[in-house]
Chains A and B, each alone.
Chain A
Amino acid sequence: MRRLDAVGWSKPLVVLLALMPLALLVLAALHGTLGPDPVSQLEKRTGIWALRLLLLTLSITPLRRITGWNGLIRYRRMLGLFAFFYASVHLTVYLVIDLGGFWSQIFAEIAKKPYITVGFAAWLLLIPLALTSTRGMMRRLGRRWGQLHKLVYAIGVLAILHFVWQVKFGRTIAVREPVIYAAILAALLLARWRPKRAALSARPAPARSPAPAPPP
């Protein structure tokens, strides 16, 4: 058994922290303090936490590079799984609580409403990542594990589209929040490109095949 270091003992704390938003939401729902349209609040808040956790997951690699603290990587799987967890709660609330009783509408919504199509696609793509998140699967898939988990970038883009497309558009975007999240995602994706470019300019001569990129 591995020795429990700082990251090891802090993990249960991170679990508790990650479950806090859901706990607060359930409490608010039980107390009836979610406002006039509680179902829309459940949808919004579970969705926003899925996105936040996804962005946190994506920020591990750049943060690790900036801080030089490699221990950070050990939080990544947990954060990614929590993103999947909140996305699943989000979808369940929508299907069971919101559309409950109007089952025939579900297919039409997923197939015909682009913002729902992309949201659903993002959730579907999270499934293989969650299933292959174990140490055993990592070992078995080897290099392909890294390739598979590059899907997380596409998921990030789909999740942002899902958010932005819901916002009413006038001449400008009516609500700023989705734009802020889009900017964060863009920054996190850009942070991954920069080192490669730096490497290229530093070494114009074609080097041997570069070391395999760390998994996203």
Chain B
Amino acid sequence: MPTRRPPDLPERDVTPEAIYQDRRRLVRLLALSPLALAACSPKGEAGSPTPAPPPPPAPGTALSYTPNPAFRTRGPLTSWQDVTHYNNYYEFGTSKSDPARYSGAFKPRPWSVTVGGECEAPGIFALEDLIKGIPLEQRIYRHRCVEAWSMVIPWVGFPLGTLLKRFKPTSRAKYVAFTTVDRPGQMPGLSYPVLDWPYREGLRIDEAMHPLTLLAVGVYGRVLPNQNGAPLRLVVPWKYGFKSTKAIVQIAFSETRPVTSWNQAAPDRYGFYANVNPDVGTVPWSQHTERRIAGSGFSLFGNRIATRLFNGYADQVASLYAGMDLRRDY
């Protein structure tokens, strides 16, 4: 299911020079297939004022994975530096630089996940046992924050559905809930009652089983850094980023819709579905457009792009919502 090319690609989508010059290394790094290489080839030279140095080699343990060419995204990637130093993870603080700054003491290993609710094979699983035998793949996904900025990120992980099937959900399992770890000693942001901790999110079972829904254990070919949700996080690319639960310690199947943190905190702003939708604004942000943070070059102009329904994944996921009023069920 290839990402469809938008009809008119504006000049601002042109690959920054630094990325262009760096393409061979990037290709090696990502081990992209020739098909993906064709998709990433530059369409021209961007006028970046000072060519940025190539991004430093990503720290962390290398993972073995296979790139999945079916899940890729046009245009330059967001640099490793930006992916890992600019995100929301309120357990470490409310500023977007806080997660990288304050997650050093976090211990993502050993790790276990409690699985329960409407399933035949619940239990408490060590992370290694949980993902044993599941092949890792790399997928390049667009990431859209509800704050109207976006990134293009090469995740390493596996489809959530592959894992969920192992627990044999029953016919009563209509939803899946995810809980983030709650460790005040290692997560300084938890001392502020911004949300009703621990962080909880959830998906409808068909959303959870959808092949696009990913459980990530790595980014840029390396083990996930603490600030990006180590050791195990959700990636639901057609929904706003807050649906993608980080540092998951609990998975629970349920018949009723689970309570989710942001929806609970501000139901008028954050819906349960939180599908990316340019026509449904989310207070206080308009969602018509987004600022794309991509490339390693520095640019002030031309970062804004139009936001697409379901973050551009409508071909794959629109059928999940057939007959639903997306304005009401936002």
Contacts and interface: CB of A to CB of B under 8 A. Distances in A.
Given A36-B82, A113-B284, A171 B303 contact: no
A8 interface: no
Contact of B266 (A38, A112, A170): A170
Interface in A138-192: 165-166, 168-172, 174-175
B300 A38 contact: yes
A169 B265 contact: yes
Interface in A52-98: 97-98
Question: Helix, strand, loop or mixed for chain B's interface?
Answer: loop
B298 A172 contact: no
Interface stretch (A13-21, A99-107, A203-211): A99-107
A38 B294 CA distance: 12
A98 B298 contact: no
Contacts of A100: 301-302, 304
Interface residues of B, number: 40
Contact of B304 (A29, A32, A38, A101): A101
A interface bracket (residues with beta carbon within 8 Å of B) = 20 to 34
A92 B40 CA distance: 34
A37 B293 contact: yes
A35 interface: yes
- Residue with the greatest number of chain B CB neighbours at <10 A, chosen from A36, A166, A171: A36
Interface in B171-193: 192-193
Contact of B300 (A29, A166, A169): A29
B281 A112 contact: yes
Contacts of B52: 32
Interface string A194-212: 0000000000000000000
B304 A36 contact: no
B206 interface: no
B90 interface: yes
A32 B86 contact: no
B3 interface: no
A109 B139 CA distance: 34
A38 B149 CA distance: 12
Contacts of A109: 286
Nearest to B88: A168
A114 interface: yes
Interface of A: 29-30, 32, 35-40, 42, 97-102, 105, 108-109, 112-115, 165-166, 168-172, 174-175
